[in-house]
Amino acid sequence: MEFSLDIFIEQFARTFTFWWVILPSIFLGLVVGAIPGFSAANTIIILLPLTLAMDPETGLTFMIALYASSRMGAGIPAILVNIPGTAGAAATPLDGYPMARQGKAQQALAISFVSSVLGGLLTTIVALLAMPWLSQVAYYLHSVEMIVIMIFGISLIATIAARDTLKGLIAGFFGLMIGYVGADVVYEAPRGTFGFLELYDGVPLIPALVGLFAVSEAFAVIEGESILTQRGRELMQKGGWGGTIDGLRETLKRWWHVVWTSMIGLVIGVVPGAGAAIASFVAYQQSRTFSKTPELYGTGHIEGLIAPEAANNGVTSGTLIPLLVIGVPGGATAAIMAVVLQYHGVTVGPDLFMNSPELAYGPFTAMAVTYALMMLTVLPLARYMSNITVVSTVYMAPIIIAFTLVGAFVPREYTFDMYLALGFGVIGYIARKTGYHVAAILIGVILGPLLEQYFLRALRIAQGDVMVVFSSTIGNILWAMLLLSIIFPYLMEARRRKARDRDATA
């Protein structure tokens, strides 16, 4: 499975001939990514008959373009109205929304677009070059290591909500408990379901996301005329292309930041089940930990926007690696791609590189071409999209409620899910008003079922010995890294405080 430059160049040129599939997919992906409840996976399922009717190469190109552009699309409402289109964009509003409120929506969108494109392009190239080695990552991560990774995710909550670590942890662990709702995977006993059959499969993610972010935001924003601050309104009136150019320049200036945060996304994407939500939070936290100005994070800081956007686009290339190399899909969309390929009689795995190199390298070249075309087609739209922030909350709040609640209905078609979204909306509203971070609750809900599964599996292997969580070398290294990632920010802060005190007394 050696990388062949000739095949890649030939494939790259060949992929450009699919522009007629890629361009409509980009716009479709942007729309479905921007609407909570409409993920790329859902859309591909809806359009499955169309995909199956295409030849495998065209179908794959279509799916890849939709997948990559939906990642970017999810960041648009996250920045403009504080509602991530998917869980993968849940870290984007941390700094994107404050920028929009300050009247810098155009700049924020441009930063999001450029870092998404650069992150996506870069990781695609690295994925191609490093595929043989990256594919091994999944082999070394077993239940024990995954438990540490999950708890790592939770520890991020404390640092993300660093203004009050205790509240951050409460929100995260409350989310975990909610994530534990549902029938036991082994014994099938319903737990914490309040008797609702609709919760036997666990708490569905989309209603949780819609409620925590969209519904609670709609109830919160009605206090103001628009989401913009006074200063933000003055800035918005200037208009023009300045914001887009600024965003482009500011992102290119921080190219190294894009590089390393997108690499975090790539590596996490390789781990089956980890996904974009974890990747974007890890990247955000790491970005803040190593920043010279961590206190600016959460206030509309450019690096705080670049990190999650570069990382969640890095995940797209990462999730394809286990699918193509070992035949294990890294996420829902990759799983659907596997189904489509199997329908056409194509078996994914190492043999694919020998038998059908155009299909093996195709997804990566399709992704590279998609990102290149996205830069040309989507970046100019930032100026016009940013105008959404000036829309009065009188119109905005009801629109958000109506359309996102129906979005909560779509995945399972249960009216119950809309009530659930409203329930999460109430929780989210209380959380916002009392200083608990809704993103912390959401990441808890996402990680809860995963943590439980890995916990259960590890305990069964160790015959109930809970010390199994310290039984692996890689796991112990990860524990040490976890401790360091919690302690390091405190040490940095103490050092800064000391320096400030020294300057003040000098």
Gap between the Cα atoms of 200 and 210, Å rounded: 20
Interface with another protein (CB under 8 A), residue from 11, 264, 452, 479:
452
Main-chain dihedrals φ then ψ at residue 188, nearest 5 degrees = 60, 20
**Can you state the percent helix, strand and coil of the chain, rounding each to 5?**
80, 0, 20
Show the DSSP H helices in 239-331 as ranges: 242-253, 255-270, 275-289, 302-326
Amino acid at 34: A
- CB 249, min distance to another protein, A: 35
**By CB under 8 A, which span of 64-72, 79-87, 336-344, 447-455 interacts with another protein?**
447-455
Residue with Cβ nearer another protein (375 or 478) = 478
Residue 22 found at the interface with another protein (CB under 8 A): no
Residue 152 found at the interface with another protein (CB under 8 A): no
**By CB under 8 A, which span of 68-76, 109-117, 245-253, 424-432 interacts with another protein?**
424-432
Please classify residue 183 by burial: count the beta carbons closer than 10 Å to its beta carbon, then call 0-12 exposed, 13-18 middle and 19+ buried: middle
**By CB under 8 A, which span of 68-76, 328-336, 364-372, 459-467 interacts with another protein?**
459-467
Residue with Cβ nearer another protein (264 or 451) = 451
Residue with Cβ nearer another protein (8 or 409) = 409
Is residue 191 within a helix (H) or strand (E), and if so which, with residue range?
Answer: strand 190-191
Interface with another protein (CB under 8 A), residue from 134, 144, 170, 271:
170
**By CB under 8 A, which span of 77-85, 246-254, 349-357, 406-414 interacts with another protein?**
406-414
For residue 166, the tally of other CB atoms under 10 A from its CB is 9
Interface with another protein (CB under 8 A), residue from 2, 6, 223, 503:
223
Residue 418 found at the interface with another protein (CB under 8 A): yes
**By CB under 8 A, which span of 287-295, 390-398, 475-483, 498-506 interacts with another protein?**
390-398
Cβ atoms of residues 36 and 404 within 8 Å: yes
Gap between the Cα atoms of 318 and 331, Å rounded: 10
Cβ atoms of residues 375 and 113 within 8 Å: yes
Query: In a 3-state reduction of DSSP, which class is residue 85?
Result: coil
Cβ atoms of residues 472 and 144 within 8 Å: yes
Q: Which residues bind another protein (CB under 8 A)?
A: 43, 46, 166-167, 169-171, 173-174, 176-178, 180-181, 184, 186-187, 189-193, 215, 218-219, 222-223, 393-395, 397-399, 401-403, 405-406, 409-410, 413, 415, 418-419, 422, 427, 430-431, 433-436, 448, 451-452, 455-456, 459-460, 464, 466
